[in-house]
Structure 1
Amino acid sequence: MRDMPNDPLSKRRLKTWIRLLGVTRGAEAHLRDFLRRNHDTTLPRFDVMAALYRRRDGATMSELSRMLLVSNGNATAVVDRLEKDGLVKRRPSENDRRTVIVALTEAGLHSFEALAEEHEREVNTLFAGLGEADLDTLTDILKRMGKDSA
């Protein structure tokens, strides 16, 4: 094992990482349960619809996989189910017939907008203990951490 750096904050940083991971996992588990129970859907379905909502003209499966940081296979399985439910449609690319573009249908758009509103309300409840100053501080810290790890 490599020598640990002589940094008095090392253990505190490790504990902070573990706490941050715990909060993230807890919030994610809560939202998964919320979506399943209240909307009969899954977080991966929500994530795919959110990505497609941001890309109204649609995205290729590769783009979608990159946006979601998942494999093409995982994205395809979710898109298959969403298509079966009439929430997304596939169409060939105008530039390359081998490439498929996925986009929300009109029903998918309306469904996502309603779902996103409920999701935001639930996230707001999860973070209700944080005031404006807390959110500003946390946002600043996370932005600084993001720059360091990029």
Structure 2
Amino acid sequence: MANCYAIVDRQLRKNLAAEFDMTLVRFDILATLDRHPDGLSMSDLSAELFVTAGNISGIVRDLKEQKLVTTSTAQTDRRSSIVSLTDSGRACAAKLNAAHQAWVEDLLGGMSQSQSMQLMELLGAVRKQLAARGLS
């Protein structure tokens, strides 16, 4: 499992860097925010990515400088920031998501659709079990 992950991860990282001058972490942030049109708090974003907020705060700051995301104060907790995609960020995420999907389909294209779905379900179950044990 680790070997397969490493191969796919390495190729996706290369593709993102070569075609978009983008890191995988930046892509993950943009893709996650794209799935949450109302934005996410830093803590929710870090939970979605299974990393600490400190790990992504600098990247979010950089993405803000690039005008791909905005931050605003949460209405329910003024100490918390909500991160959202800008229009430019949404357009960038759409391009990245399409390319990412094409790369994954190319890498795993020999698998049937049912095999792919089964793999995603099984990996999701493993991820949930590990998260339930406090591992991320």
Shorter-chain TM-score category? 0.7 to 0.9
What is the aligned partner in structure 2 of residue 8 from structure 1?
A: none
Alignment of 1:1-150 (within 5 A): 20-135=1-116, 138-139=119-120, 142=122, 146=126, 149=129
What is the aligned partner in structure 2 of residue 17 from structure 1?
A: none
Alignment coverage as a number of residue pairs: 130
Q: Which amino acid aligns with 1:93?
A: A
| Greater length-normalized contact order (CA 8 Å, ≥ 6 residues apart) | 2
| 1:50 shift after superposition | 1.1
1:144 and 1:112 map into 2 onto residues whose CA distance is: 23
Q: 1:81 to 1:129 in 2, by over 3 A?
A: same
Q: 1:131 to 1:103 in 2, by over 3 A?
A: same
Runs of 4+ in 1 over 6 A off after TM superposition: none
Structure 2 unaligned segments of length 5 or more: list them: none
Aligned CA RMSD, in angstroms, stands at 2.2
Partner SS for 2:84: strand
TM value normalised by structure 2: 0.85
Q: 1:94 to 1:122 in 2, by over 3 A?
A: same
- Kindly name which structure, 1 or 2, has the bigger radius of gyration based on alpha carbons: 1
Structure 1 unaligned segments of length 5 or more: list them: 1-19
2:29 and 2:79 map into 1 onto residues whose CA distance is: 21
